[in-house]
Each structure stands twice: as C-alpha cells, then as structure tokens.
Amino acid sequence: MRQFKLMLLAFTFIIGSFARADEGMWFLMFLERLNHRDMQKMGLQLTVEEIYSINNHSLKDAIVQFNGGCTAEMISKEGLVLTNHHCGYDAIAELSTPEANYLKNGFWAASKKDELKPKSLYVRFFVRMDDVSKRILAKVNDGMTEEEREKAIAKEIKLIETENNDGGKYTVSVRSFFQGNEYYYFVYQDYKDVRLVGTPPENIGKFGGDTDNWEWPRHTGDFSMFRVYADANGNPAEYSTANVPLKPKHHLPVNLGGVQENDFAMILGYPGRTNRWMPAGGIDQNVKYAYPAWVEGSKTGMDQMKKYMEKDEAVNLIYASKYAGVANYWKNRQGMIDALTKFQTAKLKAAQEAKFNKWANKAENKAKYGNVVSTINQYYQLTNEKSRHDNYLMQLLRTSSFGVISRSIGKQISNYAQADSATKAAMRPEMEAMIHGFYAEMYLPAERDILAAQLNLYASKSGYTLAPSVIAMNGQYKRFVDAAFELSIFGSEAKLLAFLDIAADGMVINDPLYVLSDNLITHLRAKSEELMKAENDYSAAFRLLVDGLRVSKMAPIQYPDANSTLRLTYGKVRALPADKRNDAKVNYYTTMDGLVKKYKKGDAEFDLEQKMLDMAKAKDYGRYADKNGYMPVCFLTDNDITGGNSGSPVLNGKGELIGLAFDGNIEAMAGDVIFDKKLQRTINVDIRYVLWIIEKYSNAKHIVDEMDLVK
C-alpha cells in the first residue's frame, strides 16, 4: 500500500509539472537556468542569447513598454511600433475632433510627414537588469518596524538608481519581488517623440465592444500603429520636425505562415500585476467586499457618462477613453468574482495555509513563522468592511474629475494664489493653459451627475464610517452638488479664469468643491493606530509567508508576481472546447465569416462598413488568406498573461511575429490570483488580419512594405 501511495504521489508530481509547463511570467535573465530546455522541447529555435543579451541585439530590444501601461513592439527598421487599439485609444481620441474623427473613422498617414503627434506619449526600452537582493537586505534586520525597514531600503534604492543611470541618460527602477524577499534593478531608456501612424476605424479596432470584452470567440482587430522618433544620433529627444525615425537595435520579422494547434508560442511584455501569492483572506475580501463595490461604483460612473456620450459626438470623444478604461475593469472585476467563487480559490488557499501553519509551528520553525497565518487572518478580519468603503470611494474619485481636484488643478491654483504679483504674472500663461486643458476634458452637466450619483452610492452602500463632508450633506447629494458648482470657482472654466485676476488662497481652500475633494481623499488615507499596527504586522507576516512557502517547498510557484517589469511567457496555440458560436473547424481561431455573422447594422458594438461586407463576400483576402481559404481574425494560446501585456507580440519558435495579444477569457478570470491550466487562454489578433486591414482594406500598403515579411 505504501509503495502504491509513493507511485501515485510521483505520478501526480509528474502530471502537475507537465500541466504547469505554460504557467509563469519569467525574468529573461533566468531563462537559461529555468526555462530554455523546456522551451526547446516545445518548439523554440532561438538561443537564450538571441532572446536576452546585454552586449548584442536581441528580442528584448524590440519590446517596449507603451506609455507606461501597455506593451508594444518594433516591427521595422524605421521605428514602426505595433500595439493594441485600446492601448493607443487615448492618443487617438486626443487627436480626433468631430470633423476629423480618427477614433471613429480610422486614420492612415500617407507619408511620415502626415503622422500625428499626441501631446504626451512615450515608449520605454529595456536595457538590462541585475540582482541586488543581498545588497539591499543587508541594510535591514528583524528588529526593525516596517516603516524603519522601508526607509532603509528606500535609501539604498536611491543609491543604486543613481549609480546606474549614467548621469541621467537612463531611467533606473529597483523593484521588490516575492513580497520583499528579493530585489532587482532595471535600466530603461525612454523616447518621448512618438507619433500616430495609423489606426483602423473603431468598428474594427473595438468590434464587439463591452459585450465581447473578455469573451471568446472574438473578432476584434485590436491594433494601432505608431512611430518612434529620435535625434540625428538616435538619442531620445523632445518633439521636433528635425527628428528622424529611430533605427532600433532589433525589430521583429513578420510571419505570414499562420498558426496551427500546438504550435509553440511565446509572449514578451510588461504584465501589470498578479497576486498569485495572495492569502486566502485577501481573496475572500476581494470577492465579498472590495470587488462588488468596485463593480457597482464603476457601473454608476459609466451610466452617467453614457447618457451624455450617446447624445453628442463631441462629448463622446471627451469621455471615450475614460469610459473604456472604467468599463474594462468593471467587467474584469465581475469576472474575477464569478471565477474565484466558482473555483473556490479562497478555500484552496486556506487549505495550503493550514498545511503551512502546521509546518510553521514545528519547534524548529515556530519562532520565525509560528504567528504568520493568524496575523494575516486578523488583518483581513479588521479591514473587510473598510475595503468595501474604500472601493466605493475610489470609484467616485476615479470617475469624477472633481473628486481629485484638491490634489490636481486645485493644488496648482492654490500655489498660484499664494504667490506674489511678479510670480503670478510669470505663472499666468501656464495657468491659463492648464485651465483650458482641464475643462476641455470634461462636460460639466455630466460631471455634476457623476459626482451626485457617486456620492449617493458611497453614502448608502459603504457600511463604514463616512467622510465628514458627506455626513454633513444629510442625504441631499444632488442639491449639494448643484449648489457647490454654482458657488465654486471651479464650477466653470470662465469662473476659474476670472479668479486668476483676484486670486486669494482663502478662496481656494474654502471653496466647496475643493473642500469636498480634500475631505474625501483625506478620509480615504486616514489610518487609526490600530490599523497602522495591523498593516505593519501584516506586511511582515506576508513577507514571511512567501519566504516560508518557498523554504518549505510547499509553493508550486517559481516565479515572482507581475509588477510591470519585462517578462516572458511561453506555451502553445491551444483550443478551448468546441463552441457552437464559433464557425471555425477547431475552436482555437476565428474567421471573417464569423465576424460577418455578428454584424448588426447600426449597432454601436457590431456595425461594419459596407466595404468590409463586400470584401468578405468576394473573399478578397489577397496574400493574407489561410492556406485553407478562410480569412483569419483571432486565435488562442495558453500563455500566462495579465493587464499590461496588452499589445504584446506573440512569437513563434523563430522569434517571428504571428499575432498581437489583447485579452484573456472570462472563464479564467481568476488568472491574476491562480493559474487555471485547463481554461486559461490568451486571445490574440492574427497578424495576417492586421496586415489585411492595413494593405487591402485601408489601402496603406506603403506601411506594410516597411516590414520584413516571411512565410
């Protein structure tokens, strides 16, 4: 019997190891030690040096972080950048007007001189990374409070960043991993002259809208294109007509051969945040308290925006990017609630922690780890209701432009009011420009309704001590907002511009909208001594939990959580179970036939132009048709990604571009907390569809001609 159990255990281990082959967001510097052999068996044909090299060009030189939140890739020797449509959405909306609506109708620059420069857009190239764990951890000890520990670490981080920035040439970031048990520094170079080259119309780039978001089968052409410019020597430079297209160290060749099930696929990018080490109490708190408030608060803000967006195209452009961002996380958080509940993730984590707690309370481990689990659980019990309150309040601040004015434009206006006459005169042009910019990004009737609706929701649902200013409203939220806007210097652009002539600081800090914003933010950040102690104890306990899980080898996770640093994930093209909604023969790809079947004339999410319908009917696919005759649109892989990977290149075993990652599937929405080896998928737009849209549909073949195409 004992032998049988050992055999069963060994078999389980082997199966478990195999099943986890596609899990993980890996550091490039550790590929040789941890992943290369496994990747070769799956179909990788590159050496580690060809993926990550400090001294020679490699794949990492073609991958950029796009505007701090997405990923993009260099795809030509002339600085051409490919990313998602939703990643470029804000820049495209900014450049659009009701008369020249690039967001709605698309745009393709006929030549480089026609490319458009948004106000603020940058890409970040990764240069190198290194381990500084020993150096930093040598500065701390177990006798320190968390605050003392953080100060010591911050001091050492500042030194490391200064030592490696080459006199300001580079941006250096030191990040913690494994909950503060390891530290690495990352060196980057930023380019700020980035211009729009092209975008498909919204009914392609956002086809399916909120309905299809996080869903499969998918038919979205989620891509946009930009170009990076540099000075004559290839160095970063502020925007100038004298700048020239950047010649990157490496750009990706583009493969037209298509994909088949079980083909090797790897993704490089900047995943934003995962919480794979999150304790059971944290998962339970999110599912029952934090995320429901997030979902309801998001929907409240969206509803108020939408009713004005639908009435006026100019207002629609103002709120398009904000609405899309809020809507994305609204559906994501509801999906997280559903998935984490369905798979009983908190229960699984609790079982692991119970096992760990037994190990932790053995005589040899008790002094260090004995109180870890109980301390963590006490923290979550203390903060459950507060997390609900905080998420209602944070969605108010996120969706209302006036919720945060005390920390944004209000702060600048206060500084101006306190200045002497000469300083005010010097500041005046900048202040006027700031005011124009602030009000250009809002529609005041919508802002009034957003703020009133969010105040009402926050007050009625928080279940926790409310901000004093909200208590004082005594339930009259709409009445308060209307009166505040009438009395406030921030109530209109004209009022605030007029205030510049008579500016006095007392008028700012006593302004009703400023006071409300300041009170809400102060209340959100306020912490009792009990809470501060609990946070201190929790932070230390969580770090010890992760350390103990690694030391005891109870944790199956070998990689650190995502935190917007460059990672590689590898896997295969892999189908989901057959789905009658998908016309494809195997449920790992979608086709233009399926796209046309979703068409609904006049529908905001599923409308198509007649040209698309005509070309689909004629099967006018050119060189981009699959060998089996259909026009590919999207495909699935089992790569491990999360937010921030949007726009990441999907590469074959030769490092050639085969697609563009843009979404995950709703069935595996718990992926930020736990990897589901059966259901987790990455949804990618097929590069052949991207090129077909550019060349055939948009008549912009000159852009395709820049790329290195291979079959």
**Integer Cα distance of 377 and 650 in angstroms:** 40
- Residue 711's alpha-carbon distances to 216, 365, 518, 562, 657, in angstroms, are 27, 58, 59, 34, 11
Q: What is the pLDDT of residue 18?
A: 36
Residue 7 within any structural domain of the chain: no
Longest dimension (CA), the chain: 90
Shared domain check, 97 and 213: yes
Cross-strand pairs, 74: 81
**Integer Cα distance of 355 and 518 in angstroms:** 46
User: 22 with 570: CB under 8 angstroms?
Assistant: yes
Shared domain check, 587 and 688: yes
**Integer Cα distance of 394 and 408 in angstroms:** 16
Q: What is the pLDDT of residue 22?
A: 76
Residue 661 has a CB neighbour count (10 Å cut-off) of 26
**Integer Cα distance of 104 and 206 in angstroms:** 10
Shared domain check, 137 and 59: yes
Q: What is the pLDDT of residue 5?
A: 34
Among the listed residues 646, 648, 663, 698, the single catalytic one is: 646
Residue 26 within any structural domain of the chain: no
Among the listed residues 86, 219, 250, 389, the single catalytic one is: 86
Which domain covers residue 418, as residue numbers?
Answer: 401-525
> 271 preceded by cis ω (within 30°)?
no
Residue 372 within any structural domain of the chain: yes
**Integer Cα distance of 61 and 226 in angstroms:** 17
Regarding beta strands 254-255 and 709-710, do their DSSP bridges make them parallel or antiparallel, or are they unpaired?
Answer: parallel
CA nearest to 644, candidates 656, 660, 662: 662
Q: What is the pLDDT of residue 711?
A: 87
Residue 18 within any structural domain of the chain: no
The 10s digit of each residue's pLDDT in 93-111 is 999 999 999 999 999 999 9
Shared domain check, 442 and 373: no
**Integer Cα distance of 275 and 671 in angstroms:** 9
Q: What is the pLDDT of residue 556?
A: 85
With cut-offs at 50, 70 and 90, classify the pLDDT of residue 17: very low
CA nearest to 501, candidates 422, 420, 428: 428
The pLDDT of residue 10 is above 50: no
Q: Establish whether 86 is a catalytic residue.
A: yes
Residue 114 within any structural domain of the chain: yes
Residue 517 within any structural domain of the chain: yes
Cross-strand pairs, 660: 649, 685
Q: What is the pLDDT of residue 314?
A: 94
Shared domain check, 328 and 254: no
Q: What is the DSSP string of 479-538?
A: HHHHHHHHH-TTSSHHHHHHHHHH--HHHHHT-HHHHHHHHHHHHHH---HHHHHHHHHH
**Integer Cα distance of 95 and 97 in angstroms:** 7
User: 508 with 527: CB under 8 angstroms?
Assistant: no
User: C-alpha angle with apex 87: 86 to 92, nearest 5 degrees?
Assistant: 80
**How many Å from the N-terminal Cα to the C-terminal Cα in the chain?**
56
Q: What is the pLDDT of residue 21?
A: 43
Q: Which residues contact 385 (CB under 8 A, 6 or more apart)?
A: 289, 463, 464
User: 253 with 50: CB under 8 angstroms?
Assistant: no
Among the listed residues 22, 193, 222, 284, the single catalytic one is: 222
Shared domain check, 482 and 543: no
Q: Establish whether 389 is a catalytic residue.
A: no
Which of 199, 228, 258 is the endpoint of a domain?
258
Q: Per the structure block, which two tokens stand in for 347?
A: 């229960």
The 10s digit of each residue's pLDDT in 428-468 is 999 999 999 999 999 999 999 999 999 999 999 998 999 99
Q: What is the 3-state secondary structure (H, E, C) of 319-337?
A: HHHHHHHHHHHHHHHHHHH
Q: What is the pLDDT of residue 465?
A: 95
- Residue 82's alpha-carbon distances to 15, 134, 224, 568, 645, in angstroms, are 38, 38, 6, 18, 13
Q: What is the reported pTM?
A: 0.91
Q: What is the DSSP letter of 392?
A: H
Shared domain check, 463 and 602: no
Cross-strand pairs, 649: 660
Shared domain check, 406 and 379: no
With cut-offs at 50, 70 and 90, classify the pLDDT of residue 240: very high
Q: Establish whether 400 is a catalytic residue.
A: no
Taking residues 40-46, report their average pLDDT: 97
User: 649 with 32: CB under 8 angstroms?
Assistant: no
The 10s digit of each residue's pLDDT in 360-390 is 999 999 999 999 999 999 999 999 999 999 9
Q: How many domains does the chain have?
A: 4
Shared domain check, 89 and 238: yes
Q: Report the percent of the chain where pLDDT is more than 90.
A: 93
**Integer Cα distance of 679 and 638 in angstroms:** 8
Residue 394 within any structural domain of the chain: yes
Which of 196, 225, 258 is the endpoint of a domain?
258
Regarding beta strands 123-131 and 63-66, do their DSSP bridges make them parallel or antiparallel, or are they unpaired?
Answer: antiparallel
Residue 121 within any structural domain of the chain: yes
- Residue 570's alpha-carbon distances to 35, 170, 269, 450, in angstroms, are 9, 29, 12, 43
Residue 79 has a CB neighbour count (10 Å cut-off) of 27
Q: What is the pLDDT of residue 268?
A: 98
Q: What is the DSSP letter of 405?
A: G
Q: Per the structure block, which two tokens stand in for 392?
A: 């209602």
Q: Name which of 11-25, 494-508, 539-553 the model is least confident about.
A: 11-25
Taking residues 3-17, report their average pLDDT: 34
Shared domain check, 121 and 175: yes
Shared domain check, 536 and 502: no
Cα Rg for the chain, rounded, in angstroms? 27
**Integer Cα distance of 113 and 128 in angstroms:** 34
**Integer Cα distance of 625 and 614 in angstroms:** 16
Helix, strand, or coil here: 184? strand
- Residue 202's alpha-carbon distances to 49, 100, 218, 605, in angstroms, are 40, 13, 15, 9
The 10s digit of each residue's pLDDT in 636-685 is 999 999 999 999 999 999 999 999 999 999 988 889 999 999 999 999 99
Q: Which amino acid is at 518?
A: D
Which of 556, 575, 600 is the endpoint of a domain?
556
Look at 371 and 556; give whichever has higher pLDDT: 371
- Cα 29 off chain centre by: 23
Shared domain check, 533 and 521: no
